[in-house]
Amino acid sequence: MLTFLQVLTSGIAIGCVYGLVALSFVLIYKATETISFMQGDLLMLGAFTVLALNAGVGLPLWLAIALGLGLMVGLGAGLERSVLRRALGQPHLTAVLLTFGLGLMMRGALTAVPAASHSMHRLGQPADEALRLGGLALAPAHLMVIGATLLVAGALALFFRHTRLGLALRACSEDPRAAALSGVPVAAMHTLAWALGAGLAAFAGLLLAPITFIHLNMGLIALKAFPAAVLGGMSSLSGALAAGVFLGVVEALAGLALPEGAKDMVPYLLLMGALLLFPNGLGSAAGRERAR
């Protein structure tokens, strides 16, 4: 039982990171109908930016995080303004390939920095002692991930429900034409969506840093986050987050209970099953239940 709980908490923590990246996929998709294939690279770039500000420039960690996230939000907005906006009205594939290419450019630029390509890095100090609750040992990094994810999810919920900007962004993703007619600046909302998407990915990268360290391949986690986004229905923010946590937990428990090797198959089997049974995602399936 204890082992079960132990593995469960690790699964939830990793699942939160999947969920956050999935959230960034969905946020962008809802607002702009573009699937961004550079979220993994944004995640990595965000982590490296904060590392550079902290270890390279010598800023204190909190300031480096704030400034780094600000820069990444700015990068997201800047990319939308300069490049991604031009893909509007083009076939879907254009925007997808554009994000893919931008991701490759970010990776390529980073490999040109010797310190980045030649070793792995740790942000701040090595982890402290684990927190003990009875027999349960909780890693501070895992607790931080779970806490920070809850905080971000809460802040996003407030933003979308109770601020004019959030409402405008929602309106824009529900029906851009109607939103434009009611005076919502649709173009500015697109910029906002890309900025938030980049910021969220970078934030996920920071949460991942104490667990897997900062290195060039850390963006590969997006490969797990994308199924979570699809599982959540690509259109539901809460669905994406929940699906991320769900995948993390299932993956961890499968490693414990199922035969050797099953662990890595389970998330994708689940994804296939869910797509067959609920083609619009688990989020919409739950919504339908409620509507009934």
Residues forming the site for other proteins (CB under 8 A): 3, 6-7, 10-11, 13-14, 17, 111, 114, 117-120, 122, 125-127, 130, 137, 139, 208, 211-213, 215-217, 220-221, 248, 251-256, 260-261, 263-264
Residue (6 or 238) nearer to other proteins, CB: 6
Q: Evaluate whether 29 touches 235 at the Cβ level (below 8 Å).
A: yes
Residue (98 or 214) nearer to other proteins, CB: 214
Query: What minimum distance in Å lies between the beta carbon of 137 and other proteins?
Result: 5
Query: What minimum distance in Å lies between the beta carbon of 130 and other proteins?
Result: 4
Residue (88 or 130) nearer to other proteins, CB: 130
Query: What minimum distance in Å lies between the beta carbon of 16 and other proteins?
Result: 12
Query: What minimum distance in Å lies between the beta carbon of 193 and other proteins?
Result: 27
Residue (90 or 117) nearer to other proteins, CB: 117
DSSP string, the chain: -HHHHHHHHHHHHHHHHHHHHHHHHHHHHHHHS---TTHHHHHHHHHHHHHIIIIII---HHHHHHHHHHHHHHHHHHHHHHTGGGGTTS-HHHHHHHHHHHHHHHHHHHHTSHHHHH--B-SSSPP-PPEEETTEEE-HHHHHHHHHHHHHHHHHHHHHHH-HHHHHHHHHHH-HHHHHHTT--HHHHHHHHHHHHHHHHHHHHHHHHHHH-B-TTGGGGHHHHHHHHHHTTSS-HHHHHHHHHHHHHHHHHHHHHSPTT-TTTHHHHHHHHHHHH-TTHHHHHHHHHHH-
Residue (80 or 251) nearer to other proteins, CB: 251
Residue (81 or 215) nearer to other proteins, CB: 215
Query: What minimum distance in Å lies between the beta carbon of 251 and other proteins?
Result: 8
Query: What minimum distance in Å lies between the beta carbon of 4 and other proteins?
Result: 9
Query: What minimum distance in Å lies between the beta carbon of 273 and other proteins?
Result: 21
* CB atoms near residue 59 (< 10 Å): 17
CA–CA separation, 39 and 102 (whole Å): 10
Query: What minimum distance in Å lies between the beta carbon of 256 and other proteins?
Result: 4
Residue (7 or 52) nearer to other proteins, CB: 7
CA–CA separation, 76 and 225 (whole Å): 19
Residue (23 or 214) nearer to other proteins, CB: 214
Label residue 89 left, alpha or beta by phi (over 0 means left) and psi (-120 to 50 means alpha): left
